[in-house]
Amino acid sequence: MDMDRRTLIAGTAIGAGLATSIAVSAAEAKETAKSLAKTAQVKRGYTDGPYGQIHYRYVKPERAKHLPLVCLHASPLSGIVYDRWIEEMGKDRNAFAPDTPGYGGSDTPPEPVQIPDFANAMIQFMDELKIERTDIMGYHTGSFTAIDLARRFPKRIGKVVIISAPVFTDEEKAKMRDSEGRAVGYEQMLETTLNNARTRGRGMFQDTTDDRYRDITLERMRHWRTSSWGFRATLTYDLTTGISEVKQPILVLNPQDDLWEQTPRAKPYLNAQSRIHDLPGRTHGMMDGHTAEIAAVVREFLA
């Protein structure tokens, strides 16, 4: 009987301890979840730029452990492509996704601008937000701007991450000027967008949901007046020279998108601290569908 009583008492004590442990673990998990939810909340703001206001998305954790990360979108899109990305990267650093002038919620310049103009606008954006130094990330058109920033403002830019390196031959550039570099009207933009949604475009965004793809497509339509500006700017910028003049480490992410074949051409121009990371099977939208995977690669590089 005494043994049974001792066993019962011991069992009760163990059970109570286990219950307390579970309660503490649950409380800790709840606090962690609350903390992550809080730090991952995307907010929006406006600041002054050279052509009016610049709209931007941002995430700021309670305690930033690393340099900020400023993310520059492809054209003719906006910071919408980084929604989920800055939620993830904003867990341990301040993460920003500005809309470059003429796109998203940012005001439009009076006439088409060049890559250095986009870069100058981003420096003013950083000045307005008191970002003294930052890592930079660029996506297609944004890759050109990221490289120009790193080349011209080495004291302001830390490490560089670019999604694809659009290194085109002169022949490819000539064809693109004829086919894609011209200004388009509203109806032409509607038709092109609809055709892309039905055929080629959705195929390039395999790593995102249908609803997310529709949101991105609508965002593209928003910029029908300036749709060709960013692309035309890339055709006049010498990317290989720009890359060769960058002294900071560069990580080139190479998803299997429409620049899968062109991106490896950047290799001879990269410095010894830089590399190309191939991502076979990944497409546009990979930062939506494979956020943690891509973030692990980028965090390791930025560490």
| CA proximity to 85, closest of 75, 77, 76, 73 | 73
| Range among 27-31, 73-77, 247-251 with highest mean pLDDT value | 247-251
CB-based contacts of 170, cutoff 8 Å, min separation 6: none
**What average pLDDT does the structure give for the chain?**
86
Cis check for the bond before 255: say yes or no (omega within 30 of 0).
Answer: no
Rg (CA), the chain: 23
The 10s digit of each residue's pLDDT in 76-113 is 999 999 999 999 999 999 999 999 999 999 999 999 99
User: What is the average per-residue pLDDT within 16-31?
Assistant: 45
Angle at 101 between CA 223 and CA 167, to 5 degrees: 85
- pLDDT for 42 equals 95
- Specify the range with the lowest mean pLDDT, choosing from 55-69, 144-158, 210-224: 210-224
Q: Give the whole-number percent of the chain exceeding pLDDT 90.
A: 66
Q: What CATH number matches the domain at 42-302, 3.40.50.1820, 3.40.50.280, 3.30.200.20, 3.30.1950.10?
A: 3.40.50.1820
- pLDDT for 189 equals 79
For residues 148 and 230, the answer to whether their CB atoms sit within 8 Å is no
- pLDDT for 2 equals 44
What is the C-alpha separation between 178 and 173, in angstroms, rounded? 9
The 10s digit of each residue's pLDDT in 210-257 is 888 888 888 888 888 898 899 999 999 999 999 999 999 999 999 999
Burial 115-153 (b: 16+ CB within 10 A, else e): bbbbbbbbbebbeebebeebbbbbbbbbbbbbbbbbbbb
For residues 283 and 257, the answer to whether their CB atoms sit within 8 Å is yes
- pLDDT for 15 equals 44
Q: For tokens 């310049």, what's the residue?
A: 109
- pLDDT for 4 equals 47
49: which strand partners? 52
Helix (H) or strand (E) holding 56: strand 52-59
Domain extents in the chain: 1-39, 42-302
Q: Express the helix, strand and coil content of the chain in percent, nearest 5 each.
A: 50, 15, 35
- Per-residue pLDDT for 26 more than 90? no
Neighbours of 29 (CB within 10 A): 10
pTM exceeding the 0.75 threshold for the entire prediction:
yes
